[in-house]
Chain A
Amino acid sequence: MPPLLRRVLVLCASIFAVLTFNFFLFHIIPGDPIRLIARSQRLDPEAVARLRTTYGLDGSLPEQYGKYLSNLAHGDLGYSFSLHENVADIVGRALLNTLILLTVSTLIVVIVGIAIGVFAGSRQGTRSDSTTVVTSLVFWSLPTFWVGMLLVFIFGVWIGGLPISGITTPNAVYGNWFQYISDIGRHLILPTLTLAIVDIAFFVIITRTSLLEVMGEDYMLTARGKGLSRRTMVWKHATRNALLPVVTASVLYISALVAGAIQVEVVFSWPGMGLLMYNSVMARDYPTLEACFLLTSVAVLVANFCADLIYRRLDPRVTVGT
């Protein structure tokens, strides 16, 4: 089987597994979902029947499953009973806002993290190296949401000056597009800073470890023997090879990134998927929660697939089927 086809098949199987898992999660266990939705033990049978139809809970289990899949295929994610709107519309808006936050913060985290990691790793054993390692371990041990709370306190209550909530200033009137973008940019500062403080540490540690492994290879000794400058050795020879394991590790980071984004969105009321998930938990809005879980999981699976493709392109040594 061609390697790419195999990968695509694995991706499809995983997505199908998530879809099915999601179905069982919200349709079968535990007990009667209608009771959860209605939050009442006593309902007249007519109301129960109506609720069953509304939430696709009527008919046998295979029938429900078939209906669930066909609704998904039509882009119908159900109806939110806390926001009184189609879940698909709500989720669409939230997804865009989350993507803005994730794109900006991921770029900063990856670039800064790798740069610091190479800096520390190429100075193994020095004071600046050990300081970097200790600082990274401390920052990586911080709960993301708590860092956010501290920043809200510092910049919202104590010093002030930066917006601590939302994506734009409420009721703001914009003269042109630039003002609108810069308003979003100002609201992005603290959420991005929060993610950066915690997540940069991850890339610093991974990059440093990987660089140390590479620096011990024979070809680095050859490079030194050729009389190459330290800078050329570290940045041209070592870093290039050290980045491969970093790409592999990034796959594990995707899950941490999603977790971080959820926390940051809750703390800063950033109107994305994370805040939506939080609000649906608070309101026990199961259709919305279900859609959030489904979309996040599928997005992560696809992101992993892409990271895997990039990795295979970067490293021709990787054989298929492992």
Chain B
Amino acid sequence: MTFDLGATDGGAVAAPPRRTSNLRLLWRDRLGRTGLILLAISALMAILGPIVFPFDPAQVGANSASILQPPSLTYWLGTDELGRDVFSEFLAGARISLFVGLMATLISTIIGAGVGVISGYFMGPVDGGLMSMTDFFLVVPALPLMIALGAIFGQNLLIIILVIGFLSWPRTARIVRSQTLSLRQRQYVARAKSLGASDFRIIRKNIAPHVMQLIVANTILVVAGCILAEATLSFIGLGDPDRISWGSMLHFAFVSGAIGRGAWWYFLPPGLGILLVVLAFTLVGHAFERIDNPRLRGSA
């Protein structure tokens, strides 16, 4: 970064690059460390689980005696309403839930960061237009909109990822915009401009690196929201019928009457899985927030 003289400007918003020390601070924070460990467990489960215990959706039970069986040595977490192994289904669900959550977050962050940077950098009517749109999407209730879109466009993984991603970006856009607004007032941006740097170059070299660091905490919290959104949509019955996720497991547990039959082995694991993963991202996200804002410290 040739023009990065940010430290001499005495600004308080954009911190100088400190990626490594951030991770160390995160590890020192008790809740942050718990979150990181939970994340590692979830990742392991999603990556290795389906390889070790492959789930075959077509392998249904032979007779009525094999459905909704309680846990045994053959079926560690019992069987579902079709006589399939809940344990391997749970691991397959972990992969889909995490995959959808991360992909939707990627889309949401790209849109949010793009809208925020363009809005904050160019200001004026561009800013006005983009921010009106952002505010609109910020207040329109997301779940009913997701349900409507999911019901119209059909049920497959790509649609679910797109729908969640396209509806989760407004808060990121707001945060990025306010950072960009303050960054573009810095002297080094003015210097870069006077040296003839193009807008694109200034955004790429002087704005984007700082913005990226500041939206880490926000992005991690967005993942938690996206995973919950996927679970909710699938529970409503809008999940991909060919790709089982934790949410769609709970959908089938609910509509097949597993609760009434007391089949706790069917509806407890997927819910605990969602809780584990969402909590992991939430803990890490909040730990990052505490690192950025020391006034909030002292909670753990």
Seen from chain A, the residues whose Cβ lies within 8 Å of a Cβ on chain B are 14, 17-18, 25-26, 29-30, 36, 124-125, 129-130, 133-134, 137-138, 140-146, 149-150, 152-153, 156-158, 209, 212-213, 216, 251-252, 254-255, 258-259, 262-263, 266-267, 277-278, 280-282, 284, 286, 289-290, 292-293, 296-297, 300-301, 304
Most chain-A CB neighbours within 10 Å: which of B141, B149, B236?
B141
Q: Is the CB of A209 within 8 A of B142?
A: no
Given A134-B31, A141-B278, A301-B140, are A212 and B259 neighbors across the interface (CB < 8 Å)? Answer: no
- With A124-B298, A124-B299, A137-B286 in contact, do A263 and B267 touch (Cβ < 8 Å)? no
Q: Is the CB of A297 within 8 A of B279?
A: no
Q: How many Å from the CB of B130 to the closest CB on chain A?
A: 15
Contact at A125–B148, with CB atoms within 8 Å? no
Q: Does B147 contact A (CB under 8 A)?
A: yes
Nearest CB in chain A to that of B283: its residue: A137
B145–A293 CB distance below 8 A: yes
The listed residue (B139, B145, B254, B295) touching A304 by CB distance below 8 A is: B139
Asked whether A300 lies within 8 Å of B151 as measured between CB atoms, the reply is no
For window 124-180 of chain B, which residues contact chain A by CB distance below 8 Å? Answer: 136, 138-145, 147-153, 171
Whether, in the assembled complex, B222 has its beta carbon less than 8 Å from a beta carbon of chain A, the answer is no
A209–B297 Cα distance when bound, in Å, is: 10
List residues 261-284 of chain B with CB under 8 A from any CB of chain A. Answer: 262, 264, 267, 270-271, 274-275, 278-279, 282-283
CA distance A264 to B274 in the complex (A): 17
A152→B149 contact, CB < 8 A = no
Q: Given the complex of chains A and B, what is the CA–CA distance between A153 and B295 in angstroms?
A: 42
Q: Is the CB of A301 within 8 A of B139?
A: yes
Chain B interface (Cβ < 8 Å from any Cβ of A): 31, 136, 138-145, 147-153, 171, 224, 228, 231-232, 235-238, 247, 250, 253-254, 259-260, 262, 264, 267, 270-271, 274-275, 278-279, 282-283, 286, 295-296, 298-300
User: Within the assembled complex, what's the spacing in Å between the Cα atoms of A152 and B150?
Assistant: 27
A113 → chain B closest CB, angstroms: 17
Please, which residue of chain B has its CB at the minimum distance from the CB of A261? B143
Cβ of A149 and Cβ of B259 under 8 Å apart? Answer: yes
Chain B hits for A26, CB < 8 A: 148, 152
Distance A124 CA – B294 CA, assembled complex (angstroms): 13
> A262 → chain B, closest Cβ, in Å?
6
A124 CB contacts on chain B under 8 angstroms: 298-299
> In the assembled complex, how far is the CB of residue A201 from the closest CB belonging to chain B, in whole angstroms?
10
B31 surroundings in chain A (CB, below 8 A): 133-134, 137
Q: Which residues of B contact A134 (CB under 8 A)?
A: 31, 300
Interface contact B148-A146, CB-CB below 8 Å: no
Q: CA A300 – CA B139 in complex, angstroms? A: 7
Beyond the given A140-B282, A281-B238, please list 13 additional residue pairs across the A-B interface where CB-CB is below 8 A.
A14-B139, A29-B152, A36-B152, A138-B275, A141-B224, A141-B275, A143-B231, A153-B262, A259-B141, A281-B151, A284-B151, A286-B151, A289-B151
Provide the bound-state CA to CA distance between A55 and B146, in Å: 23
Q: Are A141 and B279 in touch, CB under 8 angstroms?
A: yes
A289 vs B279: C-alpha distance in the bound complex, in angstroms? 32
CB distance from B109 to the nearest CB of A (A): 18
* 3 A-B pairs closest in CB distance: A125-B298, A146-B271, A259-B143
Which residues of chain A come closer than 8 Å to B145, judged between CB atoms? 293, 297
Q: State whether B147 touches A143 (Cβ < 8 A).
A: no
Which residues of B have CB within 8 Å of A277? 144, 147
**Docked complex Cα distance between A258 and B279 (Å):** 22
Q: How far is the CA of A36 from the CA of B247 in the complex (A)?
A: 26
Closest Cβ–Cβ distance, residue B218 to chain A (whole Å): 13
**Do the beta carbons of A18 and B250 come within 8 Å of each other?**
no
A254 and B141 in contact (CB under 8 A), knowing A129-B299, A281-B238?
yes
Please, how many angstroms separate the alpha-carbon atoms of A30 and B253 in the complex?
A: 31
> Assuming A14-B139, A289-B148, A296-B141, is B235 touching A263 (CB within 8 A)?
yes
Shortest CB distance A80–B (Å): 15
Whether A152 contacts B144 by the Cβ 8 Å rule is: no
Q: Which of A25, A143, A281 is packed against the most chain B CB atoms within 10 Å? A: A143
Contact in complex: B254, A297 (CB < 8 Å): no
A143 with B228, Cβ < 8 A, contacts A137-B279, A149-B267, A278-B237 known: yes
Q: Which of B144, B238, B250: most chain A Cβ within 10 A?
A: B144
Of the A-B pairs whose beta carbons lie under 8 Å apart in the complex, a sample of 21, sorted by A's number, is A36-B152, A125-B298, A125-B299, A130-B299, A137-B31, A138-B275, A142-B271, A142-B278, A143-B232, A143-B235, A145-B254, A149-B254, A153-B267, A158-B262, A252-B171, A255-B142, A258-B141, A259-B142, A290-B148, A300-B140, A301-B139
